[in-house]
Structure 1
Amino acid sequence: MKVVAISDTHMRQKDIILPDGDILIHAGDLSLTGTKEEIVNFLMWFSEQPHEYKIFIAGNHDFMFETRPGEMKSYIPDNVIYLENSGINIDGINIWGSPIQPTFYDWAFNVDRGAKIKRYWDLIPDNTDILITHGPPFGKLDGNHNKERVGCEELALAVARIRPKYHIFGHIHQGYGQLSDGVTNFINASLLNEKYIYTNEPIVFNF
């Protein structure tokens, strides 16, 4: 299966040249200000892509999925899969997605570090092959503009325990890229840089 990973498009989706693939994954921040109009606009674009499976999670900009979840889910096209602390099996590949992130100002899906956020990571099944979260784990492609590590410590521990083959995320635009610890391949798929300029390419891998 050929997987195409993107994140943090912030309404620049029509500028993106997407590679062909079987699964298209968006790791959150599809909108800029989180309005219904922005989100519906993205969903229409997303549903039109040729990839057989189109999966996304929300991010900290995507407020409506937190404040009016029932309404927003009603706008999701039938050929689009939304994950929110939930998973799906596609041709034997177990995929789990969560929008949760450590508290960051007053954005959406904030949960305090430590025991509170750990409850969400404890939900991730042990057999997860591809993990999608909006934010990074601590120490993995999580350096911000001040070169501070801002990833989630509890998420890093969960990933080390579960050992997924791939962990896809975004949120920290400056962390774009890939690295591997020999077990898990970490992908920060943020397409916009810290100035919200479209500078990065979708990341493709074969599962």
Structure 2
Amino acid sequence: MLHQRIRLPAGDVLIHCGDFSNDGTEKECADFCRWVAAQPFKYKLLVCGNHDLPCDGNWYQEHWKEWHESFQSPGRVADMLEEAGITVMSSGYSLRIDGICFYGSPLQPRQPKTRRPMAFGKRRGIELKEEWAKIPTGVDVLLTHTPPANILDASDHAGRQGRSIGCEELAKAVSQRTDLSVHVFGHVHGGYGVHRTRKTCFINAASAAAPRGEDGLLNAPIVFDISRRSSNPAN
């Protein structure tokens, strides 16, 4: 797995914004969990991605035969992640660490109809608008799998190269916030990097660079510092 080749710098919080697996088999999850468990971070936060199929349990129950010859247990996958010390930031999950509020969601625009369905996909428009409306005030660090539209989201896939494929509703939601310091995401490998506005630092932390594969190029981990905030608790 690619993560075995990643060399992480020191830090307090390890953030992974999804696609820790190719298609979410229990074997892949076990490999990832062994790697994470060996990392010396006090906190380890994960927002799952569309490739982490069993992590979207109800969806997987319906679609697993489209991906796997044998059923991969969502329960066992969840147990492995917990035993590795990973906090899974499911939809609407918030966590305060040393006065800093983290909020996460794995939801994203669903795959085109020409492709097999994948985990955590929602229709563009009202479904995702309602999801991002749940983000409370006082969030310092937002963690999503999808990027917002037109921010570090240019596709590197053949036939769609350079096209913005992020979430329009997420872009609208974050543009209206005055309290968001950092927004971390992944999903679009060609968008790796950092973009700063007056209010927010946007980070596409996708590890796998193009061309992808077990021997493909890797992007460096991105480190950011954030000051503690004692006011504006999330509610």
Shared topology, TM-score over 0.5? yes
Distance, in Å, in 2 between the alignment partners of 1:159 and 1:40 is 34
Q: Which moved more, 1:39-48 or 1:178-187?
A: 39-48
Q: Which amino acid aligns with 1:203?
A: I
User: Which residue matches 2:207?
Assistant: 191
Q: Which amino acid aligns with 2:176?
A: R
User: Which residue matches 2:26?
Assistant: 36
Find 1:52's aligned residue among 37, 42, 55: 42
Q: Secondary structure at the match of 1:132?
A: strand
In the TM superposition, 1:15-30 aligns within 5 A as 15-30=5-20
Instruction: Specify the structure having the higher radius of gyration (Cα).
Output: 2
Q: TM-score, normalised by structure 2?
A: 0.80
Distance, in Å, in 1 between the alignment partners of 2:74 and 2:176 is 30
> Cα deviation per residue 1:95-126 (whole Å; 9 max; x = unaligned)?
01111110114111110000011121112112
Q: Which amino acid aligns with 2:89?
A: L
Find 1:61's aligned residue among 32, 36, 51: 51
Q: Which amino acid aligns with 1:160?
A: S
Kindly indicate whether the alpha-carbon contact (under 8 Å) linking 2:33 and 2:84 is maintained by their aligned counterparts in 1.
Answer: no
In the TM superposition, 1:83-94 aligns within 5 A as 83-85=89-91, 86-94=93-101
Matched, 1:132 2:156: no
The unaligned stretches of length 5 or more in structure 2 are 61-72, 227-235
Distance, in Å, in 1 between the alignment partners of 2:39 and 2:174 is 30
Kindly indicate whether the alpha-carbon contact (under 8 Å) linking 2:109 and 2:123 is maintained by their aligned counterparts in 1.
Answer: yes
User: Which residue matches 1:169?
Assistant: 185
Distance, in Å, in 1 between the alignment partners of 2:85 and 2:50 is 24
> Cα deviation per residue 1:40-59 (whole Å; 9 max; x = unaligned)?
21012112100111111110
Kindly indicate whether the alpha-carbon contact (under 8 Å) linking 2:36 and 2:84 is maintained by their aligned counterparts in 1.
Answer: no
Q: Secondary structure at the match of 1:204?
A: coil
User: Which residue matches 1:81?
Assistant: 87
Q: Which amino acid aligns with 2:95?
A: I
Q: Which amino acid aligns with 1:139?
A: N
Find 1:160's aligned residue among 163, 170, 175: 175
Q: Secondary structure at the match of 2:15?
A: strand
Distance, in Å, in 1 between the alignment partners of 2:137 and 2:20 is 28
Q: Secondary structure at the match of 2:20?
A: coil
Q: Secondary structure at the match of 1:95?
A: strand
The unaligned stretches of length 5 or more in structure 1 are 1-10
Q: Which amino acid aligns with 1:179?
A: H
Residues 79 and 199 (structure 1 numbering): CA distance in 2 closer, same or farther, change over 3 Å?
closer
Q: TM-score, normalised by structure 1?
A: 0.91
Q: Structure 1 or 2: larger strand share?
A: 1
Kindly indicate whether the alpha-carbon contact (under 8 Å) linking 1:47 and 1:54 is maintained by their aligned counterparts in 2.
Answer: no
